[in-house]
Amino acid sequence: MIKVASMSLGADLGLYSRHLKYLGIVHRVVEESGGQSVYIEKLNDLHAAKESLELYLKNELKIQVPDNAERSYKDQLQVTTFVQIFLRTPITLSLIFGSVFVAFLTSLGNEISNYSYLLYPLLESGSFFGIFGQINSLPIAIKSITPMFLHFGELHLVFNMVWLWYFGKQLEEVHSAWFFILIIVGISFVSNTVQYLAIEYNNFGGMSGVIYGLVGYSWILTIVQPKRLVIINNNLFIFFVISLVLMELFASSWIATAAHLSGLLSGLVLGVCLTIFNRMKIRISHG
């Protein structure tokens, strides 16, 4: 067969290949030498194949494929892209889908009968560790973190989901799945428990405590490893801190301030603890 061109594996030749099939040009796209090459069977087709490829790479080629085939390819490409995104960030996307589903089920918190099972467990108020000691069963433990799925209003939901995606997808790509889950569960438990102790009733919810925890945790990681991780810069961190202060000053009766603040502090503590642990591990490995 006759080689038309070689290029990197990153080049998407799917539609170009379908275009050649439409033109009746017998060809193959093969992987070789760390790249991919296009071969055709007939020398008479070389000029058309090269010209089409040049235009295709410039996004100037009018793709000639049957309408149904083009739609099928694009639909398949969209599905593949979504699957790839989900495989990279399954936990973050599951949290988002879960929150949206609960928002739909509860009419954004307006149907209390539909979300009472998600509320923080009614435990005797006391100290944080006193509450911790009362969590003696799996259902109670689960209910201590499920308030994070509750949202009251469209703005509340959208704000939290946008920032959950922003921080979650970056952290999930640098941590193992189990460790990222531990971060989410730990921050959620702390923020929910502190909020419950602060107001002494359990009709609250939202992912905001977790978001602020991820803010604090990401900030520490960015400071410690600026060459590897730039998840959040100082300006964005200051924005979140100022927002927390403003919410306390002007909307404290509507906002779970204790959950926000305790989430932020728990994230900072987690980041510091991880940093200390990693440095100790490095020292031990180097004798």
Residue 174's pLDDT band (boundaries 50, 70, 90)?
A: confident
CA-closest candidate to residue 25, choices 58, 60, 55, 51: 51
Query: Which residues belong to CATH 3.30.70 in the chain?
Result: 2-84
- The pLDDT value recorded for residue 99 is 95
Pick 2-84's CATH classification: 3.30.70, 1.20.1050, 1.10.3470, 3.40.50: 3.30.70
CA-closest candidate to residue 122, choices 139, 102, 110: 139
Handedness of CA 49, 50, 51, 53 (dihedral sign): positive
Can you tell me the distance from the alpha carbon of 273 to that of 186, in angstroms, rounded to the nearest whole number?
A: 13
Q: pLDDT tens digits, residue range 198-253?
A: 988 888 999 999 999 999 999 998 888 765 566 788 899 999 999 888 887 776 66
Q: Indicate whether this model's pTM tops 0.85.
A: no
CA dihedral 150, 151, 157, 163 (to 10 degrees): -60
Q: Residue 48 burial (CB < 10 Å; 0-12/13-18/19+)?
A: middle
Mean pLDDT of all residues in the chain?
Answer: 84
Q: pLDDT tens digits, residue range 104-146?
A: 998 887 887 778 889 999 988 778 888 888 888 999 999 999 9
pLDDT-above-70 percentage for the chain: 86
Q: Going edge to edge, which strands form the sheet with 27-32?
A: 2-8, 35-40, 27-32
Query: Which residues belong to CATH 1.20.1540.10 in the chain?
Result: 89-285
User: Per CATH, which fold does 89-285 belong to?
Assistant: Rhomboid-like fold (1.20.1540)
* Residue with the two structure tokens 């609960």: 102
